[in-house]
Structure 1
Amino acid sequence: MATTAASTDSRAALPSVDRVLRSEAGAKLVAAHGRALALDAVREVLAELRTERAAASEAGVAADAAARLAELTAPSQKPVFNLTGVVLHTNLGRAPMPPEAAAAAAAAMQSATNLEFDLDSGKRGDRDAHVESWICRLTGAEAATVVNNNAAAVLLVLNTFALRKEVPVSRGELIEIGGAFRMPEIMARAGCRLVEVGTTNRTHLKDYAGAISKKTGMLMKVHPSNYAIAGFTKTVGDAELARLAHEHGLPYAVDLGSGQLVDLAQYGLPHEPTPAEAIAAGADLVTFSGDKLLGGPQCGIVVGKAALMAKLDRNPLKRALRLDKGRLAALEAVLKLYADPERLAERLPTLRLLIREQGEIRAAAERLRPAMTHAVGAGFAVTVAECASQIGSGSLPVDRLASACLAIRAKAKGGGSVERLAAALRALPKPVVGRIEDGALKLDLRCLEDEAGFRANLDGFSLS
């Protein structure tokens, strides 16, 4: 509080609300935040001063009110340095957006657009048209649609083709995704009945065949993108399941979960099934995410046969799950990057970060170690160490990426704790988020590309 010494008569020693707002400092407050917020803040400051029996000038009250309003009106969602070692961190927003996508979204959000307007005919258009041709080009599908996330895509497919019907799914594929959302629960909300087939580790074609009845609505395979079952295992391939489904006049759907539009093996990463592979194997419908390995905005994408996609579009749920113009613009920009595969790794942040070499990351750690040592002070030791990054968001869950980190440890008992240090780094103007492991605060630098910004962010850092 910008106050003077305590007063025995706080009412006499404090200016009125009106006097504060009519002062030069008060006028600036109103101009910056509007009268309603300024009025509330000034009243709150004066109420506290009366309780404390303290005195203050108009300028002092206005200064305290300005500090309150700066905190109140600051964006709650802040850019952070993701040094957790998880590239696609669900809690930190998953895929970082390429500049082209961010610019496209901003441009669309700031103006009226032809979102659902056909400029040639002057009649109503289809919002999916802005991305459908690109998705089909990249997957080989006949048609495509987009909704607000992959869980919604699965919900829409199940509700459209299996409402009040049964859907056989392998016991080994009854996945749980983030936030305790489970495939059986999504199926129940979609209005269909799950029929479990096979066992956790082994499911055969005969298990699916034995579960098909007049009540069956479709066959479905769920890619276990956020876990892996190893050892004595057996799964049924897409081609076999597609043939079985078609023999019984049923659609065959594949949920890829994370999803990717290129073969990651060409970049030295483990192979992840692609929508194009599922379509080529005979899948009628394929669902996958846009904001994970694909590297775009949050969305769920459905590709498949044109006749089936037309049924999806007629489902009333589609309107409830559709994308806004900003995300559609961002997705279109990201899809266009995939049309230039030679430069994709350079231009798509998610892929660029995933394939970053350990030597490059370690060199960055060596460059930043002196600045971090100076920032944390004498109570901590900062070393450069090898570590393993994760891809994250249920993508390639057992695979790790060789990386390097700044490992910060307390030198002696009472010299400071890594928990306290981690909290202080999260309180910086641009919060720094790492992970505590083996008694050290580890800052994995795989996702750090702005070294100059990181250094500047440490200026004036203090644990006191």
Structure 2
Amino acid sequence: MTTDWEDHPGDRPDPSAFRRLPPVHALMSRPELTEAIEANGREAVVSVVRAVLEEARTAIARGVASTTLEGEDEVLSGVLDRLAQDRPSLRPVINATGVLLHTGLGRAPLAREASEAVARVASGYSNLEFDLDQGTRGRRSSGVAALLRRLTGAEAAAVVNNNAGATMIALRALASGREVIVSRGQLVEIGGSYRLPEVFESSGARLREVGTTNKTRLSDYERAIGPETAAILRVHPSNYRIVGFTESVGIADLAMLGRSKGLLTIDDIGSGAIGPGRPPGIVGEPTVIEAIEAGADLVLCSGDKLLGGPQCGLLIGKAEVVRRIERDPMMRALRVDKMTLAALEVTLRLAIDAERGARSIPLWRFLSVPVERLGDRADRLADRLRETLGMTASSEWSQAYLGGGSAPDAAIASACVRIEPPLPGRCSGATEASRALRMGEPSVVCRVQHGALWFDLRAVAEGDDEAIVQAIEGLVRA
């Protein structure tokens, strides 16, 4: 058997090329690696150095080595490039898409106070399930449950990992083996192929559809009630709208029907608005307070949408109903950790005072910024990009959206900075430039629309305007 270079004598490796490769200790002593060693640890950097050297040796042995990998400076450059690429997979981004609750970008950002609370409990021990007064075991969600009762007027509350989990465990604990009536027009599918009929199947409850896609009347629910019926479920279609020739039944009428027949009424409002003004400027979305006051036995919603908190699912309602759910063995599998509870508690405390919440909870603050102020910021950014970088930039009025399965047809007035290609530097097209900005530091995610880059400012903190300019400047000057 012969090697590749024996078949092609002209490609025989040059022995001197191996000798020109530097030893590991020589590279590790270079001052250029000091910062990387401090950031990543010595052993991690050594492993990268060895990997780059091994790749260079393999290339030389095959007779295909580039001369750029043969000297100490050249190998060091390869090591630095590899270290620069080895960044955390989960990184902060600046959201200039105009979608405030962007599921791909982590939905609602946390308030500064909530982030600080997470850091405090995550860096040491905490009284997660310990009653400091009695010195005995306590309930991990007692603090947030008390705040949810105070906010909504409900008798009890519980928390699980997300609203899909809340729906699943509610059906399992309250209606396993029995029927739950749902309007045919509310059999939703959300992201990740989450379909309500399949949730029913997994929970053990039986789905009883009533009405039609566009019209369901109270009489449809009444006719469907039988000896196997356990509950009536209303599901808010938070990521779509049916308009035109439609009819649906409000939660107050469903709750009244449920009470008259001895059935539970569950209201899955999804996006999680607490009540009027929480969050500010949102109208037409069902709220927890509305459902509780209407007589719903249980209300389900997300914590990382309109509440502006961490990912979780909230179960709020009658004390006996919540107790039945908490006794279910599946509750342990769906429970949240100390960091989620810390962030949620602070978010709820901020939400108690609507004005304070509008100042402190990022989503609420984004919704409260007057569009004229966004326009002034867009003007300043566009002027700077034109004057300092010679770019074809302009400020434009635009429309932002909540996203994340919330108020899908409610546009929010916003302002954008629009950049026309070609861009100075190495990126001529908008798609190429958009990718480069996403891969940069900081990562900036914008829209590509009609061949241009659009940076919507509705979900951008004012303090990040300078970071956007620097990211674009770095792209141009690269």
Q: Same fold (TM over 0.5)?
A: yes
What's the offset of the Cα at 1:440?
2.5
Please say if 1:122 is aligned against 2:129: no
Find 1:163's aligned residue among 176, 187, 195: 176
Counterpart residue identity of residue 45, structure 2: A
Please say if 1:425 is aligned against 2:432: no
Counterpart residue identity of residue 340, structure 1: D
How many residues are paired up?
455
Counterpart residue identity of residue 405, structure 2: G
Find 1:410's aligned residue among 421, 426, 444: 421
Please say if 1:443 is aligned against 2:450: no
Aligned to 2:401: 390
- 1:221 partner SS: strand
Find 1:262's aligned residue among 275, 278, 282: 275
What's the offset of the Cα at 1:455?
2.9
Matches within 5 A, 1:269-308: 269-308=282-321
Indicate conservation of the 8 Å contact 2:383/2:394, yes or no: no
What's the offset of the Cα at 1:182?
1.3
Per-residue CA distance 1:146-198 (angstroms, 9 max, x = gap): 01111111111011011122111001111111222111111111112211100
Indicate conservation of the 8 Å contact 1:375/1:458, yes or no: no
Q: TM-score, normalised by structure 2?
A: 0.88
**CA distance in 2 between partners of 1:301 and 1:405 (Å):** 35
- Out of 204-213 and 116-125, give the one that drifted further: 204-213
**CA distance in 2 between partners of 1:269 and 1:121 (Å):** 43
What's the offset of the Cα at 1:298?
0.6
What's the offset of the Cα at 1:42?
2.2
**CA distance in 1 between partners of 2:34 and 2:432 (Å):** 40
Aligned to 2:337: 324
**CA distance in 2 between partners of 1:183 and 1:317 (Å):** 19
Shift of the 27–419 alpha-carbon distance from structure 1 to 2, 3 Å rule, reads closer
Shift of the 62–130 alpha-carbon distance from structure 1 to 2, 3 Å rule, reads farther
Find 1:191's aligned residue among 204, 211, 215: 204
Aligned to 2:467: 453
**CA distance in 2 between partners of 1:14 and 1:223 (Å):** 65
Identity of aligned residues (%): 43
Find 1:218's aligned residue among 227, 231, 245: 231
Indicate conservation of the 8 Å contact 1:408/1:442, yes or no: yes
Aligned to 1:69: 83
Indicate conservation of the 8 Å contact 1:23/1:59, yes or no: no
Please say if 1:347 is aligned against 2:354: no
| Contiguous gaps of at least 5 residues in structure 1 | 1-5
Indicate conservation of the 8 Å contact 1:23/1:58, yes or no: no
**CA distance in 2 between partners of 1:268 and 1:147 (Å):** 28
Shift of the 79–24 alpha-carbon distance from structure 1 to 2, 3 Å rule, reads closer
Counterpart residue identity of residue 422, structure 1: S
- 2:237 partner SS: coil
- Out of 441-450 and 80-89, give the one that drifted further: 441-450
Indicate conservation of the 8 Å contact 2:52/2:75, yes or no: yes
Please say if 1:113 is aligned against 2:120: no
Aligned to 1:41: 48
Indicate conservation of the 8 Å contact 2:393/2:420, yes or no: yes
What's the offset of the Cα at 1:88?
1.0
What's the offset of the Cα at 1:231?
1.6
What's the offset of the Cα at 1:365?
0.5
**CA distance in 2 between partners of 1:404 and 1:25 (Å):** 42
What's the offset of the Cα at 1:14?
2.2
**CA distance in 2 between partners of 1:239 and 1:25 (Å):** 68
**CA distance in 2 between partners of 1:431 and 1:23 (Å):** 29
Per-residue CA distance 1:328-351 (angstroms, 9 max, x = gap): 001000100122223222222111
Indicate conservation of the 8 Å contact 1:29/1:62, yes or no: no
Counterpart residue identity of residue 470, structure 2: A
**CA distance in 2 between partners of 1:9 and 1:327 (Å):** 58
Please say if 1:81 is aligned against 2:88: no
Aligned to 1:337: 350
Per-residue CA distance 1:12-40 (angstroms, 9 max, x = gap): 22244466557887898766544543343
**CA distance in 2 between partners of 1:240 and 1:224 (Å):** 18
- 2:458 partner SS: helix
Shift of the 247–385 alpha-carbon distance from structure 1 to 2, 3 Å rule, reads same
Indicate conservation of the 8 Å contact 1:85/1:389, yes or no: yes
Indicate conservation of the 8 Å contact 2:117/2:343, yes or no: yes
What's the offset of the Cα at 1:419?
1.2
**CA distance in 1 between partners of 2:71 and 2:279 (Å):** 68
Indicate conservation of the 8 Å contact 1:173/1:222, yes or no: yes
What's the offset of the Cα at 1:213?
1.7
What's the offset of the Cα at 1:426?
1.7
Aligned to 1:237: 250
Counterpart residue identity of residue 447, structure 2: R
